Structure 1
Amino acid sequence: MNITRENKDALNAVVKIDIVADDYQAKVDQLLTDYRKKADVPGFRKGHVPMGMIKKQYGKSIMIDEVNKLLQESLNKFITEEKIDILGNPLPRVQDDFNWDADKFSFEFELGLVPEFDVDLKSKKKVTKYKIIATKELLEEEVKNIQTRYGKMSPLEEVTKEANVTGTFVNEEKEINKKGTFLVSDLEGKKNEKKVVGAKVGDVIELETKKLFKDDHKLQHILGVAHEEIHDLDIKVTLTVEDITKTELADLDQELFDKLFPDGSVKTASELKDKIKEDAEKQFAQQGDQQLLNAVTEHLVENTKFDLPAEFLQKWLATAGEKPLSPEEAKAEFEKSEKGLRYQLIEGKVMKDNDIKLDYAELVDYAKGFIRTQMAQFGNMNPEEKELDDIAGRILQNQEEAQKLQSQLISQKLLAFYKENMSFKSKELSYEDFVKEVYK
C-alpha cells in the first residue's frame, strides 16, 4: 500500500491511496475459508463445498468489503499520524472508469484543511464590559413587591387605582382565551386606566394591546403570546372582570424580616435593601458575564481574519446529512453555519495556544455544583457527598447532558481567561439601561 498527500493550496489537499492484492488477499482468503466451513449448499456436505464455488459466489463482495475497510482504516491512521487538521470529513473523488477487477486500486480523497491564523486579544478596538447596579428606584420597587407579596388581600366592590384585577382576556382571531391578574398601576396611560377604574365583577371591557402595559413582558405573560410577537402586537381584546382586590402592604417590621431571613441577619429596612442589592447585583453580574462572553465572541469573529475551504465545505455539507442537499441548499447551509464554525476554530485556537484544558474530574465537580444548586431550590441544603457523586455519574452517562455541562464549563474557563488577558471599556449602568442598550 502507498499513501501520498498533495497540497492543492493552504486550505485544500488530496490524499491518494494505492492498494494491491497483497494488502488484502490474506484476509479475504481467511474469510472465504470460514464461509466454506459454514456454507450449507444442496448436494454437498457442510464444510466440503468446493472453494471455487465459494469464491465465485462470495469472493468479489468479500474483497470489496475488505478493501473498503482497509481504505478507511488507512486513511484515518494517515490523518492521525501526519497530524493533519481537517474540517468536515474526507470526500472520495468519483472515478468513472473505476474497475473492481483490476490488479491495483487507486483512491483519492479531498481534504478541507483547518486554516492557520493568530488570535489578537490586544486589539485597539475594545469590548464593553458592563457593571450593572441596583438603583435606588429598583430597591424601592422590590421592597414594595415584598410588602405586596406578604400583605393582606381584601375584596373591593369596584376597580380603583390601587386594585388588583383578575379576569379573562379573549381575542378569537388570535385564539387568545387566558386568565390573568394585573395591578391597575401597571397599565400604560390615563386612557387605559380610565377604561378599567370603576368596573365591577362581570363587566366586559374592550382594550387595545398596543401600549396596554408599561412593560410589554407583562402583557406577554398575561396573554401567553410568544416573545417575538409581543412587541408588535396590536389587537383588541375583551377583558371579563372576575375578581377585584386590594393589597394592604405588610409592615417593614421584624416579623417580616424573619420570614425573609430566618437567620436573623436583617433587622432594619436599610439592611433589607442591602440584602436585596447584594442578591440583585449577583444576578446582574451573571447576565453581564453572559453578555460579555457573547460580545467577546462577536469581537473575535469580526476581527480574526482567515479564509475557509468554502467550496470543499459546501460539497461536504451536500452529502453529510441524512438527506442530500442541492448545491444551492448546501451553499445556504454553509452561509448559515459559517459564523459558528469560525468561532469554533477561534475557540479551539485560544484553548490550544493557552493550554486551557478540561479534565473529567473538573466536569464531575461542576456537575455536582449544578446539582447542589438545584437541590437547594427544593430545600435540601446539605446533600450527602455520595448522593451528589451518584447523581453526577448518572447525568454524565447521558451524552447530551454531559456535552451541555462541558460546554458551560468551557465557557466559564474562557470567560475567566478573557477577563484576565483582554482590555475592556468599562461602563456602569442600571439594569433597565443595560437591557435597553444591549437588547435594543
Structure 2
Amino acid sequence: MNITQEKINDLSAIVTVKITPEDYQEKVNKTIKDQAKKMKLPGFRPGMVPPAHVKKMYGKSILVEEINALLSDSVNNYIQQNEIEILGQPLPKEDEGSFNWDFNDEFVFNYELGLAPKVDLEFSAEDKLTQYIIKVDEETLASRIKNIRRSYGKMTNPDVVADGDVVFGEFIQLNNDGSVFEGGINVTTSLRLDIVKDATALKSLIGLKKDDVVESFDLVTAVDDEKQLIKILKLDEENPIIPTSKFKLTVKNINRLEESDLNQEFFDKLFGAGTVTTEEEFRVKITEELESMMTQDAERRLAADLYKYGSEKADMALPDAFLKRWLEISNKDISDEELEKGYDDFAKNLRWTLVENKIVKDQKLEIKYEDVYQMAKARLEGQFKMYSPQGLTEEQLGQYTAQFLQEKENANRIFDEVKAQKVFDHLKTVFTLEQKEIDYNKFLELQ
C-alpha cells in the first residue's frame, strides 16, 4: 500500500491511497473461508459450503467491505502518524472513478482533507472586558422573599378579586357585535392576574366577585402572550389559531395563594430545624442565596462576553467549501437554505474551538476524568433537585453519573464543557477585567 499527500493550499490537501492485491487478498480469502464455515445453504451440510461457492456468490461484497475497512484504518492512521490537523472527516473526491471490483485489481482512492488553519491569536492584559458585580437590591430581595413565602403558603378563596389572584371562570367567544360566536371557543379555565399585561384589562378584573360577568373582555390584548393564550384557551399546540375576538367572562371562583407566616415552622421547613430563628437571619440567608445565584449569572455573562469578543477576534480563514460539503454529507436532511443560514454560527464556533485547543495545548491544561465526572455529577444533581427536593444519596448519584458517562455523546459533551471552563478560568487571569457594580434589574436588561 502506498499513501501520499498533495497539499493544495494552506487549508486543503488530497490524500491518495493505492491498494494492491497483496494488501487485501489474504484478508479477503480468510473472510471467505470463515464465512464458508458458518454459512448454511441448501444442498450443503452446515460448515461444508465450499469457499469457491461463497466467493462466487458473495465475493464482491466481501471484497468491497474489506477494502473500505482497510481504507478507513489506513487513512486515519496516516493522519495520526503524520500529525495532520484536519477539520471534519476525509471526504472521497466527487469525481472518483468506478471499479470492476475484481480480486486482482489495483485500487486508487483520493480523499479531500480540510486542514485546520494556523492559530496565531494571543490574548493579553490589553484585552479588556467588563466583569459585573450584581448587587442584591431591596426590590429583588423583597420579590424573592414573596415568592418563597407564597411557595409555602396556602390557597384561599376570597370574595373579591385582588391583584395577584387567579380568576377561575367561563370564557365564551363573541362575534364583533357582541353576540355569542356559534361553534366558537367555550372553556372554563384559569387566568392568573400576574400575566395580564394590559392595565385597562387588569383594572376591569380587580374587584370582581363570584358569579360576576364581564360582557366583553379582550383576553388576547390583556395577556399578549401566545404560549399563555394557548394554555388558557386550551388550543391545539401544534396548530394554534389565536382568536382576535373578545370573550364573555363569568367568574366561577377566585383563588389566592396566601403568603406563609414568617414563623419557626416556616424557617424549619426551609433550612432545617433551628438553623434560622429570626426574620433577620432569614433575610440574611435569602440574601446569601441570591448573591450566589447572581455570581453565577455574572460568570455566565462574562463567559458569553469573552466568547463573543474572542470569536470575533479569531478571524482565521477556514476551508469553507469543504466544510459545507462535509456538513451536507453528515446531515442528510439539511436543506441548502438551512446550511447557508447556519454556517456562519458553525464557523464561529469552530474557530473558537481551535482557539480553545491551542490554549489547552500551550498552557498544558489537564482535563482529567475526575473533572469530567464531577461536572457530570453536578449537572445531574441539579436536574434531580428540580423534580425532587430530597435529591439522591451520594451512592445513587454516583451510579447515575457513571451510567450517564458510559454514553459516548454524554461524555464528549461534558468533556467539552470542562475544557471550556478551564480555558475560561485561564483567560480570566489574562484579560483585564474591569469590575462594575450593577443592580439586578439593570443587569437583566443587558441580556
Same fold (TM over 0.5): yes
Task: State the distance in 2 between where 1:31 and 1:118 align.
Answer: 49
Task: State the distance in 2 between where 1:48 and 1:36 align.
Answer: 5
For residues 110-156 of structure 1, give each alpha carbon's deviation from its aligned partner in whole angstroms, at most 9, with x where no partner exists: 10011111333337453332222210122233444455556676644
Counterparts of 1:258-273 in structure 2, within 5 Å, are 258-273=268-283
Of the three residues 244, 252, 275, the one matched with 2:254 is: 244
Counterparts of 1:225-244 in structure 2, within 5 Å, are 236=246, 239-244=249-254
Of the three residues 279, 298, 302, the one matched with 1:288 is: 298
Task: State the distance in 1 between where 2:385 and 2:45 align.
Answer: 73
TM-score between the two structures when normalised by the length of structure 1:
0.78
Of the three residues 328, 331, 343, the one matched with 1:321 is: 331
Counterpart in 1 of 2:311?
301
The one-letter code sitting in structure 2 at the alignment partner of 1:74 is S
Given the alignment of the two structures, is residue 342 of structure 1 paired with residue 351 of structure 2, yes or no?
yes
Residues 176 and 295 of structure 1, relative CA distance in 2, 3 Å threshold? farther
Residues 218 and 285 of structure 1, relative CA distance in 2, 3 Å threshold? farther
The one-letter code sitting in structure 2 at the alignment partner of 1:72 is S
Identity between Structure 1 and Structure 2 (%): 32
Task: State the distance in 1 between where 2:337 and 2:193 align.
Answer: 53
The one-letter code sitting in structure 1 at the alignment partner of 2:205 is V
The one-letter code sitting in structure 1 at the alignment partner of 2:17 is I
Shift of 1:81: 0.7
Counterpart in 2 of 1:358?
367
Given the alignment of the two structures, is residue 310 of structure 1 paired with residue 312 of structure 2, yes or no?
no
Task: State the distance in 1 between where 2:409 and 2:186 align.
Answer: 36
Given the alignment of the two structures, is residue 397 of structure 1 paired with residue 406 of structure 2, yes or no?
yes
For residues 46-105 of structure 1, give each alpha carbon's deviation from its aligned partner in whole angstroms, at most 9, with x where no partner exists: 869695x76655555544443333222211111111111111211112334755457533
Counterpart in 1 of 2:431?
422
Of the three residues 107, 110, 116, the one matched with 1:108 is: 110
Task: State the distance in 1 between where 2:42 and 2:192 align.
Answer: 83
Of the three residues 272, 286, 296, the one matched with 1:276 is: 286
Task: State the distance in 2 between where 1:45 and 1:135 align.
Answer: 82
Shift of 1:41: 8.4
Is contact 2:38-2:46 (8 Å) kept? no
Shift of 1:437: 1.8
Is contact 2:154-2:257 (8 Å) kept? yes
In the alignment of these two chains, the number of paired residues is 427
For residues 382-419 of structure 1, give each alpha carbon's deviation from its aligned partner in whole angstroms, at most 9, with x where no partner exists: 83x44443232222224444444444434433332232
Is contact 2:127-2:431 (8 Å) kept? no
Residues 87 and 178 of structure 1, relative CA distance in 2, 3 Å threshold? farther
Task: State the distance in 1 between where 2:31 and 2:401 align.
Answer: 45
Is contact 1:89-1:111 (8 Å) kept? yes
Is contact 1:130-1:428 (8 Å) kept? yes
Counterpart in 1 of 2:140?
138
Task: State the distance in 1 between where 2:18 and 2:109 align.
Answer: 6
Task: State the distance in 1 between where 2:421 and 2:209 align.
Answer: 53
Task: State the distance in 2 between where 1:133 and 1:69 align.
Answer: 60
The one-letter code sitting in structure 2 at the alignment partner of 1:437 is L
Task: State the distance in 2 between where 1:350 and 1:331 align.
Answer: 30
Task: State the distance in 1 between where 2:243 and 2:303 align.
Answer: 32
For residues 13-44 of structure 1, give each alpha carbon's deviation from its aligned partner in whole angstroms, at most 9, with x where no partner exists: 01111222222233334445556777868699
Counterpart in 1 of 2:181?
none
TM-score between the two structures when normalised by the length of structure 2:
0.77
Task: State the distance in 2 between where 1:382 and 1:14 align.
Answer: 53
Greater mean deviation of Cα atoms: 409-418 or 1-10: 409-418
The one-letter code sitting in structure 2 at the alignment partner of 1:127 is L
Task: State the distance in 2 between where 1:221 and 1:428 align.
Answer: 40
Secondary structure at the aligned position of 1:242 is classed as strand
Task: State the distance in 1 between where 2:259 and 2:38 align.
Answer: 87
Task: State the distance in 2 between where 1:176 and 1:354 align.
Answer: 65
Shift of 1:187: 5.7
The one-letter code sitting in structure 2 at the alignment partner of 1:203 is D
**What 5-or-longer segments of structure 1 have no aligned partner?**
227-231
Shift of 1:12: 0.1
Counterparts of 1:361-376 in structure 2, within 5 Å, are 361-371=370-380
Shift of 1:311: 1.1
Counterparts of 1:162-181 in structure 2, within 5 Å, are 164-168=165-169, 170=171, 179-180=189-190
Counterparts of 1:152-171 in structure 2, within 5 Å, are 155-159=157-161, 161=162, 164-168=165-169, 170=171
Task: State the distance in 2 between where 1:336 and 1:344 align.
Answer: 12
For residues 258-308 of structure 1, give each alpha carbon's deviation from its aligned partner in whole angstroms, at most 9, with x where no partner exists: 454444343443332222211112112222222222221111111111011
Greater mean deviation of Cα atoms: 59-68 or 16-25: 59-68
The one-letter code sitting in structure 2 at the alignment partner of 1:303 is K
Task: State the distance in 2 between where 1:167 and 1:208 align.
Answer: 16
